[in-house]
Amino acid sequence: MTPAVIDDTTLYAVLAPFAAAVVAPFLTRLLKHNAAWPLALVPALIFLHFVGFIEPVSRGETFVAAKAWAPSYGINFSVYVDGLSTLFGLLISGIGTFIILYAGGYLKGHPQQGRFFSFLFMFMGAMLGLVLGNNLISLFIFWELTSITSFLLIGFDHLRAASRRAAIQALVVTGGGGLALLAGFILIISATGEIEMSVLLGSPDIIKDSGLYLPIFLLVLGGAFTKSAQFPFHFWLPNAMEAPTPVSAYLHSATMVKAGVYMLMRMHPLLGDTVLWTTVLPLFGGVTLLVGTILAVRQTDLKLMLAYTTVASLGLLVMLTGTSHEKALEGAVLYLLAHSLFKGALFMVAGTIDHEAGTRDVTKLGGLRKAMPVTFVAACLAALSMAGLPPFIGFIAKEVLYYGTSNIGDLGQLGVIITIVAVIGNALMLVIAAAVAMKPFFGPKVDTPKQAHEGPVLLIAGPVVLSVIGIILGLIAHTTGILFVGPTLSSLLGEFKQIDLHLIPTEPTPVILSFTTVGLGIALFTQLDKLRDFTASVLKAIGWGPDQGFDQFVSGIVRFATWLTRLLQTGKMQTYMLLTFFFTALAVLLPGYLTNSFPAMPKLPEYRFYEWGILLIAVLGLFAILVARTRLTAIVSLGVQGFAVALIFMMFGAPDLSFTQFMVETLSVVILALVMTRLNLSPRDHRTVPARLLAGVVAVAVGLGLGLTLLSITQQPFDSTLSVFFTEFSRSIAHGRNIVNVILVDFRGFDTLGEIAVVVLAGLCVLALIRVRTKPDTVLDPPPERTGQSQNAEAR
């Protein structure tokens, strides 16, 4: 079905959060934390906009809208609205609304709260652009933008080293994966000639038939697996918990980490249902599920427990998407929806507990149910959904996915293995859900660092609403199926499907599997402490993980760079110069020698006496360099030769060039002389005679080579197209009579812009080099902090 073209409102919906990001700091300065209320209107309105799509999309309609961006490269800012993107759009804007409110309460009084809102909104816009992206290139840009905003948010508390490390780690892993994705997209574009996702989806076999399927598959996987924290790239996600809790709830559970899953789901019609797909994805997804749940059991920090179950859930989603089985995919969609709701809520609960009780270590929490009744209820509702108990949406998700995995006929043994992995994973998930929801609230009251009491409305609105939606969606299962799950599943399958969901299970197998899961989960929960000690000791025995691997990788790169630099940069200026000039000589002389095309000796014109005079000055200058006793004399003599050349330019009608040459020569002499005195070089040249001879030979070769090259250039027929053009148009187009200047600032101004940028950079580098040699105590104009430090050091 061809997508219908709609107006630009959806494009503005994507851009609206960026506008909010600009306004947020000012509004926060004005209204303090209450700025959250008006700011939350932005995502709320976006949410309402997407609500309008629910009904037509559930009838199988799709929509596109586009604005030209760089049309000469086929790059547009375009959106594609179908079941999958509507679901994601609703989740991002809906959960986003409550996250903004929550951030208002959580960071109340924080001096940088405005900046925090700003980052959150930028992320929101990037994420919307990603899930709605139709044009592959603009989709990629939003993809990278989510990595960058995630970096900013994880590193928000930038004074702590752990935050900075986690931020850089997340950026390196997800950004690196992003580059793989870009390569994959470029391959798709070159293999198919199409750049719009909606067009690609119109002919599903286009990539599979192109012969580039394997590299495209691997590269897209590289992007998706890093973003969605699949083993062995999972380590950045738990570390990202350094971010303030609103970020963990929003980016690192409900939305951003799902971008990888989104990409796999989006690409499923194009890349899915091949042997490769149904082998690789379930394998990595399954391993991630088990690793994630096992690591979660070990933790005692509420946020880390939730973070590892997020890793596990992402593994489950990838595993299910990898089966390419209709029912299992339906389970994946349901689980995606359920997970976003309960995990977002649970993270906010964990943050509220942390905020009100002062700790989020489960072993130090207990008996909070009386002090925080609303949070307690929200936590229970979300945890029950996570545990997969009726009548929550999580229960239906689990029923459907069990039905799917246990019915994968054509995968044979693999279906059984996937089902077993899913059961174990879900049982462990139940353990964590129980631990998170029960431990802090039940049992005797434990003394916490702060006197715990119920959080303010801003903090509890999110968890309550999200967890209640979790139960409502479960109760109206049939409608949920028609409005949300069916359309999304249609996107995954590439054909319109309507599904019929029931809260009451009709098949026997999933019910049995569910009972097994719950039984296993409860059994494991009673042994939680033993389980925790056991996994801790196993992990200690292994002693190495990808997290350390990342550090080793980074330090390895640094060491390699140092080694390579040492190899290439000996630090001896003379060696650099000699090598540079040697190869210059080779480059200008060798082609002439090989092709035997040295220029003919030109006929010397009749020189006038003053022309001879200038030539004589130049030669005298050169001679003076050779016989100079001190280096300073040599430098000045070089200037003499340069001035002579400037005079020659002047005589042959190039005043601009000559002018510049004069100045450059003057400044070169001044700066070289200054460098000499600055570096405390000995006034004389102490090189040995052979070294001097070698340098002399190379110098003569370069001079000869350049001279010959110039001669052969002047002996070519002169193409005057450019000169004619410039002479003709310099006055009429550019209003200038000085052609040289007009070329520099107008006709080729873009080149000049690049050149002056180089000049600025070179200036900065030279300045840095000079500063390096200066000892701190002789810095003339030291920054104030530094003075303070050195004074302190002296005082000690």
Count of beta carbons in the 10 Å neighbourhood of residue 634: 16
Interacting span for another protein (CB under 8 A) from 414-422, 458-466, 527-535, 734-742: 734-742
Write down the least CB distance from residue 645 to another protein, Å: 16
Q: Pick the binder of another protein from 453, 530, 687, 771 (CB under 8 A).
A: 771
Interacting span for another protein (CB under 8 A) from 139-147, 272-280, 701-709, 766-774: 766-774
CB of 561 or CB of 761, closer to another protein: 761
Q: Pick the binder of another protein from 762, 786, 789, 791 (CB under 8 A).
A: 762
| Rounded Cα gap, residues 336 and 470, in angstroms | 12
Write down the least CB distance from residue 621 to another protein, Å: 20
Q: Pick the binder of another protein from 596, 682, 688, 778 (CB under 8 A).
A: 778
Write down the least CB distance from residue 648 to another protein, Å: 16
The site map against another protein for 526-545 (x = CB under 8 A) is --------------------
Q: With residue 69 as reference, give the H or E element that holds it.
A: strand 63-70
| Rounded Cα gap, residues 323 and 334, in angstroms | 15
CB of 677 or CB of 789, closer to another protein: 677
Write down the least CB distance from residue 630 to another protein, Å: 16
| Rounded Cα gap, residues 766 and 756, in angstroms | 15
CB of 702 or CB of 734, closer to another protein: 734
**Nearest 10 degrees: Cα torsion 100, 50, 150, 70:** -130
Largest pairwise CA distance in the chain: 112
Phi, psi of 133, deg, nearest 5: -55, 130
Q: Which residues contact 272 (CB under 8 A, 6 or more apart)?
A: 321, 324, 492
Site size toward another protein, by CB under 8 A = 44
| Rounded Cα gap, residues 309 and 238, in angstroms | 10
Tell me: does residue 68 bind another protein (CB under 8 A): no
Interacting span for another protein (CB under 8 A) from 134-142, 331-339, 610-618, 736-744: 736-744
Taking alpha carbons only, the member of 50, 2, 60 closest to residue 491 is 60
Count of beta carbons in the 10 Å neighbourhood of residue 520: 17
Tell me: does residue 753 bind another protein (CB under 8 A): yes
Taking alpha carbons only, the member of 479, 486, 482, 514 closest to residue 330 is 486
CB of 704 or CB of 753, closer to another protein: 753
CB of 210 or CB of 666, closer to another protein: 666
Write down the least CB distance from residue 761 to another protein, Å: 9
Write down the least CB distance from residue 680 to another protein, Å: 9
CB of 495 or CB of 656, closer to another protein: 656
CB of 686 or CB of 735, closer to another protein: 735
Phi, psi of 358, deg, nearest 5: 90, 0
Look up residue 159 and give its two tokens: 């004074």
Write down the least CB distance from residue 26 to another protein, Å: 24
Write down the least CB distance from residue 573 to another protein, Å: 16
Look up residue 314 and give its two tokens: 């992402």
Angle at 203 between CA 199 and CA 208, to 5 degrees: 115
Taking alpha carbons only, the member of 278, 369, 370, 275 closest to residue 325 is 278
Contact in structure between 227 and 266 (CB atoms under 8 Å) = no
CB of 71 or CB of 111, closer to another protein: 71
Interacting span for another protein (CB under 8 A) from 146-154, 539-547, 641-649, 746-754: 746-754
Interacting span for another protein (CB under 8 A) from 82-90, 432-440, 523-531, 737-745: 737-745
DSSP assigned state of 73: G
Write down the least CB distance from residue 659 to another protein, Å: 5
Interacting span for another protein (CB under 8 A) from 14-22, 227-235, 347-355, 757-765: 757-765
- Site residues (CB under 8 A) for another protein, limited to 636-675: 655-656, 659-660, 663-664, 666-667, 670-671, 674-675
CB of 523 or CB of 670, closer to another protein: 670
Q: Which residues of 706-719 are buried (b: 16+ CB within 10 A; e: fewer)?
A: eebbeeeeeeeeee
What count of Cα atoms within 13 Å lies in the side-chain half-sphere of residue 458? 20
Q: Pick the binder of another protein from 270, 382, 499, 742 (CB under 8 A).
A: 742
Q: Pick the binder of another protein from 193, 683, 749, 788 (CB under 8 A).
A: 749
Q: Pick the binder of another protein from 4, 68, 214, 756 (CB under 8 A).
A: 756
Helices 393-405, 326-357: inter-axial angle, 10-degree rounding:
140
CB of 30 or CB of 664, closer to another protein: 664
Q: Pick the binder of another protein from 22, 561, 681, 759 (CB under 8 A).
A: 759
DSSP lists the bridge partners of residue 276 as none
Contact in structure between 50 and 31 (CB atoms under 8 Å) = no
| Rounded Cα gap, residues 636 and 666, in angstroms | 9
Q: Pick the binder of another protein from 608, 724, 766, 788 (CB under 8 A).
A: 766
Interacting span for another protein (CB under 8 A) from 358-366, 514-522, 632-640, 730-738: 730-738
Write down the least CB distance from residue 764 to another protein, Å: 6
Interacting span for another protein (CB under 8 A) from 72-80, 124-132, 424-432, 755-763: 755-763
User: Tokens 């994880």 label which residue?
Assistant: 154
User: Tokens 């715990």 label which residue?
Assistant: 452
Q: Which residues contact 544 (CB under 8 A, 6 or more apart)?
A: none
Look up residue 107 and give its two tokens: 């960071």
Write down the least CB distance from residue 633 to another protein, Å: 16
Q: What is the DSSP string of 315-352?
A: HHHHHHHHH--HHHHHHHHHHHHHHHHHHHHHHHHHHH
Q: Pick the binder of another protein from 587, 757, 776, 789 (CB under 8 A).
A: 757
Q: Pick the binder of another protein from 556, 591, 613, 763 (CB under 8 A).
A: 763
| Rounded Cα gap, residues 582 and 192, in angstroms | 48
Q: With residue 5 as reference, give the H or E element that holds it.
A: strand 4-5
Tell me: does residue 735 bind another protein (CB under 8 A): yes
The site map against another protein for 674-703 (x = CB under 8 A) is xx-xx-------------------------
| Rounded Cα gap, residues 449 and 754, in angstroms | 58
Give residues in contact with another protein (CB under 8 A).
655-656, 659-660, 663-664, 666-667, 670-671, 674-675, 677-678, 734-738, 740-742, 744-746, 749-750, 752-753, 756-757, 759-760, 762-764, 766-767, 770-771, 774, 778, 780-781
